[in-house]
Amino acid sequence: MTNHRTTRARQRFARVAWGALLGALSLAVAACGKTTPSAGDGPSAAAERYPEPRYPSYLKPPSSIEDVLPHVRPLVRNKTGFQGAGLGIAKAGETVTFVLGPDADDLIVRAVKQAMEERGVHVNLVYEYEMVGVSREDAMEYRRIRRSYTSEQGYMEAATWVESNFPQPEAVKTWLKDRRPDLYDKLFPKNRDLSPRLRDVQQKLLLPNMGQGIQAYLRKHPEVRGIFWGKGGGTFLRRNLHPLEDRFLGLFVVDNRWDVMSALGTYPGDVWQLAEDQTMEPLVHVDKMTAKDPEGTDVWADINEEQARNWARGVYQRGHLYMFPNQATGRFGYSVIDYPAFQKEWLPREPLAVIHGTLAGTVNHTGFFPRWEVHFTDNGYIGEVKGGGIVGDALREFMQLPHINDLAYPFHNENHKGYWYLYEIAFGTHPKAFRNPAGLDEGTAIPERLRAGVIHWGLGITLHHDPGVQTQSQKLLDFTAQYNLPRDHGFHTHTYFTTYQVRLRNANRWVKLLDKGRLTSLDNAEVRALASRYGNPDQLLTEDWRPEIPGINAPGNYATDYAPDPWRTVKTVIDKVLAGRYEHFFPPVSGAPAPSTER
């Protein structure tokens, strides 16, 4: 990593986040080169051409450790990682532990371990189930039953929301079964029922128990500097390791051939961080945000000075920027300077940011579903849900849960009663992330959300911390236990070609942070100059994956060929990728079919 450049970028953001002069900000705006003609009511919408589909052409299956090592040797030296540090922070002579999921690819893990040990770092390999005293056989049986669906069944995110978020999920299931037995059977089919033994396994594998097990391991092994663990949710992982959260070093996403053979781990950390800094820079001066996407999203929110100040202080999480004030608050924000350490100041949720308009899409964290529209009232609350197939039916039903609309959550004012607000607008920031076929087989579309310019939106409420305590909010736990209400947000939507803009207070000026799904900071002159130290900036800063969506960036009619059944298109693309004959491989490969030019 280029230390002087990284330090400069961090200093820049620190100045802005604590109230830089508007004149200094104007230089950054000019560098972005993306403004609307007038502030008015926001940017205008018009028919547009969107970036063409792509899929990485270089993801070749390895057959031996020797095939993998050239890819992981640079990776294990990279000090920057998703939602934490990279493997490169471990120094020669130190010991670290990889905490592995049950489906980790043994060939890939052994190659990463060998590459680490080549530079003098000792690596222990411990599976999650071992941390909590569960046998491999039981862990794999539990996984087989619970992962009995693919991303074709995107509606299963609703089932996960129930089972992982409620203090008493069985009571919620009974409530749903009494109201909608047909919907209950879809979300909770009998083939996913657990025996008493596997229910015990399920409890042991829950995150709080996993955290306790890892803490016990770390206390038993003081020689271990720390762990690399998990594929997302770094805040939740750290919180469950308290008071040993400083020994959480970063995520361990490189346990499968798709991620290891990609450019995820070798992308320069200083370039990545500088582009994030440029994206965050204007937020302290924002008085309005808007977002529009060709699938139908059209939302806006007014932002007052207090909201903007708290947003700028809490926005940061590497690879996952919190681009709406509600997600950046109710917590201690991450330090940009000492990431992933928390800052010392607790950021209040109120004043709540109120979204207006419509959110639309066809993808969530689990997979795909018929297009839905989520309409927000003038108070920022969900007023109506249209479409969505089974997941839309589930959301409409759960909007009627007892107490879910008539009680104010902790740290929310009485005029903001209820759960169904927009919580999350999160930007992916890594241009080399992609849609992982292995993940789709396992019922997860989460990897794609990391790609620069992809937004994932989340509904509901999350509170990470209470004032003065950087552990899980006890007030939230007590409140949700009393009324059996959800402890976290859910019901996500992914959008890919969004134009997201912010207006600068007192400047009558709009700044475009996303332009049709492109993270505009990747085109910033300073980012390009830094990227040029590593090669061609056009290649380094481009996205290697973009989804193919008929009627938007591919031939066809969106309303008839895609929106009712997005999985049909996705499955066709993935089958071509696996067969090596996709028309939109990038960089292009010889012998691949020519893409159609019709729209």
CA–CA distance, 12 with 30 (Å, rounded to integer):
16
User: Of the ranges 68-77, 376-385, 417-426, which one carries the lowest mean pLDDT score?
Assistant: 68-77
Q: Is residue 578 part of a domain?
A: no
Whether residues 356 and 483 fall in one domain: yes
pLDDT over 80 at 99, yes or no? yes
Average pLDDT over residues 240-265: 90
- For the chain, the average pLDDT equals 90
- Separation of first and last alpha carbons in the chain: 43
Q: Which tens digits make up the pLDDT trace of 571-586? A: 999 999 999 999 999 9
Q: Is residue 349 part of a domain?
A: yes
Q: Is residue 14 part of a domain?
A: yes
- pLDDT, residue 598, reads 54
Cis omega before residue 410 (within 30°)? no
Q: Residue 559 is which amino acid?
A: A
Whether residues 411 and 493 fall in one domain: yes
Whether residues 227 and 358 fall in one domain: no
Average pLDDT over residues 399-405: 98
The domain total for the chain is: 2
- pLDDT, residue 444, reads 95
- pLDDT, residue 44, reads 36
Residue 71, domain CATH: 3.40.50
Q: Are 39 and 503 in contact (CB under 8 A)?
A: yes
Whether residues 76 and 220 fall in one domain: yes
Q: Quote the percentage of the chain above a pLDDT of 70.
A: 90
Whether residues 289 and 246 fall in one domain: no
Give me the domain span that covers residue 109. Answer: 65-132+205-260
Q: Is residue 535 part of a domain?
A: no
β-bridge partners, 332: 346
Strands 490-495 and 248-250: unpaired
- pLDDT, residue 508, reads 85
Q: Which tens digits make up the pLDDT trace of 175-232? A: 999 999 999 999 999 999 999 999 999 999 988 899 999 999 999 999 999 999 998 7
User: Of the ranges 78-87, 392-401, 430-439, which one carries the lowest mean pLDDT score?
Assistant: 78-87
Q: Which tens digits make up the pLDDT trace of 485-526? A: 999 999 999 999 999 999 999 998 999 999 999 999 999 999
| Residue 27 confidence class, pLDDT cut points 50, 70, 90 | very low
For 6, the enclosing helix (H) or strand (E) is helix 3-17
H-type alpha helices, 240-323 = 257-260, 269-280, 305-314
pLDDT over 70 at 89, yes or no? yes
pTM: 0.88
Q: Residue 122 is which amino acid?
A: H
Whether residues 346 and 407 fall in one domain: yes
**Among 241-245, 306-310, 588-592, which range has the highest average pLDDT?**
306-310
